């Protein structure tokens, strides 16, 4: 059991440690973002529903969430008006015996014709019944018209009802009719007349109702054959027709006019539908159902629509992140931070939206909508901030919409988009936290102008509305800045983010570690500043984080403060202590400054990216000076000095920034060793150092390309020329080889 548990535990830990780059985790995070979108919009888009039953006491006061027509009350009013118009019915006597006789005569005649084929008879009967009925109906209508007792409108309605309620003989019955004998037809005819006569004695407007009783009467008849019974039922149903007709046109017109004259009844937003403690009657229950306020009768169309809408928003953001070359496209930690930023933005918007129910006009402008854009700009990337601003503006246009007739309120969406874009532009080159507050002031002014323009365009405003709207807009911008300043430390600490603002703060020479470096190792401090200048220029040339390189350079040799005089830049003309000790001990002292630096940085809670630069800037390079010195002093040639014993323990550079700082560190030390460097010497020195590190496989664990290395070399050379331009000589003599720096 013990042997099996350990590998499982190791796999779990490995999977957990790799969550930052897990494809499954990315899917989970995007699904969580879609869920946040749904939860934030559900209250505005989806009608609130209640789990109540009829004939029970309501535990809550239920109000309308929007203005809507009260269909129950409107229908009731229309019905009352229509009921005042009395319907007009008239009886028209129809002699069904004549129709039945005509049908049986045709059947007897055609069935007796032995020369007529069976299929032809079937086809004939398919048209025969409607034809006979049509002739009979026309004759009945002509007789009624000739009598002059019925109006043309009534006769038209009568014809319409006779045709619309005409019974269609089933197809299977048509195939049985040709097989009837004369004797069977003779027995069936009186039974049919008797059944139809009984059913048509009373006036009826619905032939279908009368036809339902045919089966009962047929079963009680004297017919014994099943086929005869079945066909009598069909012929009787065919012969049954309505004999009481509504004067539909006049009645419908009068009722329609009465309905049109009835004004619709509306339920206004926030009108109380049911008071707490009130009994839910059947009528109230139906009304709540019509308003989609009941859970068991809820319309799930809006839910599905909202799911699709949130999916589109999330998919759009997913495709933007996926197609970009930003670190967030592979780093789930940054994606998690983005999800949290969206969550915070939506929560603040929803909190402000509560004020709308308190009838504060245009309180939506108070929402710190630029909060998300500011945080994304400072912590992640400007491109992502612009894309996210579009999503935030869409969400704001829904969250602050109060018009029941539309889904979006373009005013809030437009102002939000303007505000967010303004915030991103204002923070483009922010290097201090005070810049966030300045950006908040700019956002407030632009927001106030945007709100003012929309209010003036509306042309329906009061002084009070203008004052409140502009005040809310100004307060919203300032609130965004305050929240960003307050939340930045949380994100920087929780996610190990080194924002430009944090980096600038860490570069303050008054901080304890940098002051210690300046006062105890002034040579190292000067060296670190020079390395910072070089590495920043090189990093920016290839699109890496130049500010991280500069600040990382300030701290990369902080470990030298433990034994400052063992490093040549701090000896200030004093005797070199390495001349008096064994090379292996010198190696241990030199190598230890990277490890000591990391421990000191941890003690002062310096972020990990800077600690990584301090730990990785030497990689596993060889201390050539002490290695060759050890070889020269080796008194046992049979035991050669191992090169591995005089290498830094590493690790090798894991990032472009760490690799660039390492190159700049070596280049600065090497060029500083030259008394009067020339352009050719600087160029040769830079190329040689980069080539040596490349040949030594120091860049195998970072993603620096050969093209980028060439660009780094050019940037370092140009920066060095700017630094040493006043001391560069242009010799005519051939250049001598420069001595390598061994103790940087």
50 part of a folded domain: no
191 part of a folded domain: yes
Pairing state between β 89-91 and 68-69: unpaired
pLDDT of residue 550: 92
552 part of a folded domain: yes
- In this prediction, residue 741 has a pLDDT band, given cuts at 50, 70 and 90, of very low
Q: Is-contact 454 411, C-beta < 8 A?
A: yes
- Give the closest residue to 292 by CA, choosing from 78, 74, 66, 79: 66
d(CA 159, CA 138): 8
Please compute the mean of the pLDDT values over residues 191-218 and round it to a whole number.
Answer: 86
pLDDT of residue 344: 93
318/467 same-domain check: yes
pLDDT of residue 677: 81
pLDDT of residue 238: 85
Domain boundary among the residues 476, 498, 520 is at: 498
pLDDT of residue 233: 86
pLDDT digits (tens, 9 = 90+) for 492-549: 878 877 777 788 888 888 889 999 988 988 888 999 999 999 999 999 999 888 889 9
- In this prediction, residue 5 has a pLDDT band, given cuts at 50, 70 and 90, of very low
Please compute the mean of the pLDDT values over residues 622-627 and round it to a whole number.
Answer: 86
pLDDT digits (tens, 9 = 90+) for 253-309: 788 888 888 888 877 766 777 778 778 777 777 777 766 677 666 567 778 888 999
Calculate the average pLDDT of the chain: 83
194/272 same-domain check: no
Tokens representing residue 504 in the block: 């600038």
Please compute the mean of the pLDDT values over residues 47-76 and round it to a whole number.
Answer: 74
- φ, ψ at 263 (rounded to 5°): -75, 140
Please compute the mean of the pLDDT values over residues 196-200 and round it to a whole number.
Answer: 86
Q: Is-contact 690 663, C-beta < 8 A?
A: yes
Domain boundary among the residues 276, 296, 316 is at: 296
Q: Is the pLDDT of residue 13 over 60?
A: no
**First and final CA of the chain: distance in angstroms?**
53
Please compute the mean of the pLDDT values over residues 401-427 and round it to a whole number.
Answer: 85
Q: Give the Å distances, CA to CA, from 106 to 97, 122, 598.
A: 14, 13, 112
As to burial, measured by CB atoms within 10 angstroms (0-12 exposed, 13-18 middle, 19+ buried), residue 551 is buried
Tokens representing residue 417 in the block: 């988009």
pLDDT of residue 6: 41
Q: Is-contact 536 670, C-beta < 8 A?
A: no
Q: Is-contact 621 648, C-beta < 8 A?
A: yes
pLDDT of residue 35: 93
The CATH number covering residue 688 comes to 1.10.3210
259 part of a folded domain: no
What is the tally of helices (H) and strands (E) in the chain? 30, 6
Tokens representing residue 67 in the block: 């203005």
Please compute the mean of the pLDDT values over residues 150-169 and round it to a whole number.
Answer: 82
Tokens representing residue 511 in the block: 């901080």
470/553 same-domain check: no
Please compute the mean of the pLDDT values over residues 651-679 and round it to a whole number.
Answer: 88
| Better pLDDT: 358 or 418 | 418
Could you tell me how far CA 615 lies from the centroid of its own chain?
41
The lowest-confidence range among 7-16, 318-327, 607-616, 630-639 is: 7-16
Q: Is-contact 415 473, C-beta < 8 A?
A: yes
- In this prediction, residue 424 has a pLDDT band, given cuts at 50, 70 and 90, of very high
408/492 same-domain check: yes
Domains of the chain: total? 4
Q: Is the pLDDT of residue 429 over 80?
A: no
Q: What contacts 502, CB < 8 A, 6 or more positions away?
A: 488, 492, 607
| Better pLDDT: 658 or 407 | 658
292 part of a folded domain: yes
344 part of a folded domain: yes
Tokens representing residue 415 in the block: 């102002």
DSSP 8-class letter at 327: G
292/309 same-domain check: no
d(CA 539, CA 503): 15
The residue whose two tokens read 């049509």 is: 134
The lowest-confidence range among 218-227, 458-467, 575-584 is: 458-467
- In this prediction, residue 738 has a pLDDT band, given cuts at 50, 70 and 90, of very low
133 part of a folded domain: yes
DSSP 8-class letter at 50: B
538/654 same-domain check: yes
354/444 same-domain check: yes
pLDDT of residue 462: 76
pLDDT digits (tens, 9 = 90+) for 549-558: 999 999 999 9
pLDDT of residue 283: 74
- What count of Cα atoms within 13 Å lies in the side-chain half-sphere of residue 337? 28
Q: Give the Å distances, CA to CA, from 262 to 76, 87, 226, 251, 256.
A: 10, 19, 57, 17, 10
The residue whose two tokens read 């308190």 is: 358
pLDDT digits (tens, 9 = 90+) for 459-499: 777 787 788 888 889 999 999 999 998 888 888 878 877 77
pLDDT of residue 9: 43
The CATH number covering residue 437 comes to 1.10.1760.20
Q: Is the pLDDT of residue 327 over 70?
A: yes
537/614 same-domain check: yes
DSSP 8-class letter at 212: T
pLDDT of residue 313: 92
76 part of a folded domain: no
Tell me the Ramachandran region of residue 650: left when phi exceeds 0, alpha when psi lies from -120 to 50, beta otherwise.
left
| Better pLDDT: 726 or 402 | 402
Percent of the chain with pLDDT over 90: 23
Q: Is-contact 573 619, C-beta < 8 A?
A: no
d(CA 45, CA 122): 61
The lowest-confidence range among 46-55, 60-69, 683-692 is: 60-69
Domain of 290, in residue numbers: 58-67+266-296
- In this prediction, residue 216 has a pLDDT band, given cuts at 50, 70 and 90, of confident
- Give the closest residue to 120 by CA, choosing from 187, 55, 40, 177: 177
- In this prediction, residue 4 has a pLDDT band, given cuts at 50, 70 and 90, of very low
Q: Is the pLDDT of residue 140 over 90?
A: no
106/160 same-domain check: yes
For residue 279, the cross-strand partners are 57
pLDDT of residue 734: 43
Q: Which residue stretches of 240-295 are H helix?
A: 248-260, 282-290
Which range, 78-87, 197-206, 306-315, has the best average confidence (pLDDT)?
Answer: 306-315
Domain boundary among the residues 446, 469, 498 is at: 498
517/484 same-domain check: no
How many other β-carbons are positioned within 10 Å of the β-carbon of residue 488? 20
- Give the closest residue to 693 by CA, choosing from 660, 732, 646, 718: 660
Q: In the 3-class helix/strand/coil scheme, how is 36-50 assigned residue by residue?
A: HHHHHHHHHHCCCCE
Q: Give the Å distances, CA to CA, from 431 to 376, 377, 500, 504, 507.
A: 15, 12, 6, 6, 11
pLDDT of residue 137: 82
Q: Is the pLDDT of residue 116 over 70?
A: yes
108/207 same-domain check: yes
Please compute the mean of the pLDDT values over residues 309-314 and round it to a whole number.
Answer: 92
675/528 same-domain check: yes
């Amino acid at each position: 059991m013990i042997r099996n548990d350990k590998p499982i535990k190791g796999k779990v830990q490995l999977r957990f440690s790799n969550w930052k780059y897990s494809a499954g985790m990315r899917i989970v995070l995007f699904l969580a973002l879609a869920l946040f979108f749904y939860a934030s919009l559900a209250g505005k888009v989806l009608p609130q529903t209640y789990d109540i039953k009829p004939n029970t006491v309501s535990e809550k006061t239920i109000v309308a969430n929007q203005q809507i027509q009260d269909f129950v009350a409107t229908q009731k009013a229309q019905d009352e008006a229509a009921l005042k118009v009395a319907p007009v019915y008239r009886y028209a006597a129809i002699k069904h015996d004549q129709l039945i006789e005509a049908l049986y005569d045709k059947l007897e005649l055609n069935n007796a014709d032995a020369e007529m084929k069976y299929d032809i008879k079937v086809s004939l009967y398919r048209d025969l019944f409607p034809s006979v009925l049509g002739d009979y109906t026309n004759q009945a209508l002509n007789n009624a018209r000739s009598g002059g007792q019925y109006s043309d409108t009534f006769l038209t309605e009568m014809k319409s009802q006779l045709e619309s309620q005409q019974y269609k003989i089933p197809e299977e019955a048509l195939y049985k009719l040709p097989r009837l004998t004369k004797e069977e037809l003779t027995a069936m005819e009186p039974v049919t007349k008797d059944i139809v006569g009984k059913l048509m004695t009373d006036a009826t407007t619905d032939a279908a109702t009368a036809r339902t009783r045919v089966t009962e009467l047929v079963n009680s008849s004297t017919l014994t054959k099943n086929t005869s019974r079945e066909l009598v039922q069909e012929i009787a149903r065919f012969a049954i027709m309505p004999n009481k007709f509504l004067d539909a046109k006049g009645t419908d017109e009068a009722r329609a006019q009465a309905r049109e004259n009835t004004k619709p009844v509306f339920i206004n937003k926030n009108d109380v539908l049911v008071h707490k403690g009130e009994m839910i009657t059947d009528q109230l229950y139906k009304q709540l159902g019509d308003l989609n306020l009941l859970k068991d009768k809820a319309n799930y169309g809006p839910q599905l629509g909202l799911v699709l809408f949130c999916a589109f928003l999330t998919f759009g953001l997913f495709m933007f992140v996926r197609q970009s070359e930003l670190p967030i496209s592979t780093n789930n930690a940054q994606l998690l931070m983005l999800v949290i930023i969206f969550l915070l933005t939506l929560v603040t918007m929803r909190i402000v939206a509560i004020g709308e129910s308190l009838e504060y006009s245009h309180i939506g402008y108070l929402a710190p909508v630029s909060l998300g854009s500011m945080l994304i700009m400072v912590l992640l990337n400007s491109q992502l901030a612009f894309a996210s601003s579009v999503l935030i503006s869409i969400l704001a246009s829904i969250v602050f919409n109060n018009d029941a007739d539309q889904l979006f309120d373009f005013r809030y969406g437009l102002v939000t988009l303007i505000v967010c874009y303004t915030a991103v532009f204002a923070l483009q080159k922010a290097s201090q936290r005070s810049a966030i507050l300045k950006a908040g002031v700019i956002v407030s002014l632009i927001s106030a102008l945007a709100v003012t323009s929309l209010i003036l365009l509306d042309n329906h405003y009061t002084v009070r509305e203008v004052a409140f709207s502009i005040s809310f807009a100004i307060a919203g911008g300032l609130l965004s800045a305050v929240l960003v300043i307050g939340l930045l430390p949380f994100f920087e600490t929780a996610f190990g983010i080194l924002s430009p603002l944090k980096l600038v703060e860490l570069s303050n020479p008054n901080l304890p570690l940098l002051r210690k470096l300046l006062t105890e190792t002034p040579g190292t401090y000067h060296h670190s500043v020079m390395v910072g200048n070089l590495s920043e220029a090189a990093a920016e040339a290839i699109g890496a984080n130049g500010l991280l390189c500069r600040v990382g350079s300030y701290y990369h040799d902080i470990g030298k403060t433990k034994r400052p005089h063992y490093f040549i830049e701090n000896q200030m003309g004093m005797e070199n202590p390495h001349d008096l000790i064994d090379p292996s001990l010198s190696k241990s002292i030199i190598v230890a400054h990277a490890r000591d630096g990391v421990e000191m940085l941890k003690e002062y809670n310096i972020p990990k990216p800077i600690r990584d630069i301090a730990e990785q800037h030497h990689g596993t390079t060889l201390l050539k000076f002490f290695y060759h010195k050890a070889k020269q002093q080796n008194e046992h040639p049979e035991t050669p000095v191992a090169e591995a014993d005089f290498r830094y323990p590493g690790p090798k550079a894991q990032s472009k920034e760490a690799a660039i700082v390492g190159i700049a560190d070596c280049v600065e030390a090497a060029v500083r060793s030259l008394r009067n460097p020339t352009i050719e010497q600087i160029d040769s020195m830079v190329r040689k150092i980069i080539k040596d590190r490349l040949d030594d496989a120091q860049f195998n664990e970072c993603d620096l390309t050969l093209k980028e290395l060439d660009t780094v070399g050019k940037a370092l050379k140009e920066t060095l020329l700017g630094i040493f331009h006043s001391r560069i000589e242009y010799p005519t003599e051939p250049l001598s080889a420069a001595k390598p720096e061994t103790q940087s």
